[in-house]
Structure 1
Amino acid sequence: MMQDKINQYTAEIKAANPANAAELEEFRIKYLGTKGIIKDLFDEFRTVSPEEKRVLGKVLNEFKQLAEAKYAELKESQESRAKSQDIDIDLTLPGEGFELGSRHPLSLTRIEIIDIFKRLGFVVAEGPEIEDDWHNFSALNFPEEHPARDMQDTFFIKKNSGKDDIALRTHTSSVQVRMMESGKPPFRAIMPGRVYRNEAISARAHCFFHQVEGLYVDENVSFSDLKQTLYHFVQELYGEGTKVRFRPSYFPFTEPSAEMDISCTICGGPGCNMCKYTGWVEILGCGMVDPNVLENCGIDSKKYTGFAFGMGIERITNLKYVIRDLRLFSENDVRFLKQFQTEII
């Protein structure tokens, strides 16, 4: 009887447990092959009476599904065992090490500068890198014929009639203007950020670089306050033995103005390429905020005075880490960056 055969084969399939891939293949050929048992049963099914077909048809389909499911289960089980045998893991061994990242040297210097001024009561202020003419030039007392407005120095995005010019900011002094316009004195803040100037790229210059500028506006602020603040900053950053000198200079937004030099941290005084064999390196510009700038921002220049300063982070970093080519900061050379890997993120 066909029903008896199906019952017998069902029991065999349920008990089947091939030990390897060869025996599994024999199982497939025996039951599911083109000349296998299921094929023979379907051939035999065609010869049974119509009454038996109504009963055996369902039984035969269920038997075929059982055989297919059993084969799939056995195959998956063998593949799983094979994978586990291929992977030989000793869980007692230590894990594989991986390289730790580090902060960029410019970031290290920026953080240190900010920390020094924060201890003096300065807060951090930020502003947009795309600026209009008023905040980037006019409010800072730049006359219309000033060279900095020329295409040789500034990346203009839109250049029209002066007041409508839009450009990449050439300094973070624009943040000072925004702060003074939107608030009331006293102000004590530093403004770190990226700036852009249309300059030829070399070991000493780049078309973009980073600045930290500072502003202090209050009643009775003097040049002496400026000198003591910057002297303290230099001693904190480079060490107590670092010498400082101020030289008269000119900036449109400060009066009087000065440039500040420190004794060369690379050669220690005798002279080198970094200090141009003078023993001194200029690190920042500074001065008392010009009264016109205060008035442009709505501040009474007869009541309030203030000082401002600005420095390039690249120059400070060059001196601190003895880096002679500032192009290294933006080339993403892993060999260069790995030198700072002791500073973990």
Structure 2
Amino acid sequence: MRGVRWSALPARMRRLGRAHCAEAARATVAAGLTWQTCTALLHTTGPYAGAVAALLIVETTVVRTVSAALRYGGGCLLGVLVAVPAAWYARPQAAGLLLVVFASVLLARRDFLGHHGIHVPTTALITFALVRDRHSGELYSHLAEIVLGIAFGLACSALLFPAVRVRSAEHALEELRTLVARYLDALADTVVDRRPPRDVLGPAWEQDLDRALQRARTAVDEAHESVRWNPRPAARRRRWHLDHRVLRTLSEVAHELTATGRLLDAHPQAAGACGPGTGFAQPYARLLRTTALCAYSCRGGRPHPALPATRRALTRLGTARHGPPATGTEAGRLLRHLESALSCLSAPPPAPPVRTHRALGPLRPSSRR
């Protein structure tokens, strides 16, 4: 599994490199447009405030850019609101400055501003100095640069090929499906050979499964975020109504897989606890391999056709001629974990939304004769 993970690393790095280059290009274009617009409209020789605003709000997705723009603009607005009254009415100047610093730092620590809270004291100090020295024109120019920078940052983030990370989520889900199916198939080998799963899967197989789950969750969340408010046609064509269900199903199967592996690690002879005459190990191994096939085919559509027969075979194995294994025995726990995994995979697909057509009212008779 380490070889598979390392072989997928170059492709993952290339995708990250393309995403970072695209984000840097959008930020560069936004800063350049802001600079040119400020010099043409505001007649400022160095509109650094607008260029910095455009650079800082451009994020990977449109949703993050809008959030950064709101926080950046909110921080600057709070700084102005704190500094202007203090510059007008606070006497002496040192007392007003201390009051502005104290209030702006308190507001900057609020969670809703995030790391953009630093702009509250920065804007407050600049505003206090300009208003105190009667440079209101420079203050208006400074604020106008920030507004233009935010506007160009939003426009470039939304219009210059915003990222659509659906394919990354598909790759992460495919990797998780493959890993779950491979581990289930390997558990079948450990049941037949009566060996601990650590000897077959490796000592870090649980950590590898947890990392794959975390990568899949992160990729699915990023895919949903990249599609929201995205004007690209590729984003509008995506219908992501099954990915969370697939991820939840695979997570539950992985949970049962981990529990089964831990049980077999603690009791390698658990599958043979019913005795050689009962024939438990071989049928249970076949059920594990069929479950691996069903887990690999879990893609959000209909359940695998082999699932009903697999569940019936599991029921027959539990109620064999020697009676079902006791609920407290290891064999009974193995059956319960497998039954839970099959129940997760057997969940019916969501029903398509029903379109309701509003019936037209009857034609009213005309009052004209």
Both proteins in one fold, TM over 0.5:
no
Q: TM-score, normalised by structure 2?
A: 0.19
Which structure has greater strand proportion?
A: 1
Q: Larger C-alpha radius of gyration, 1 or 2? A: 1
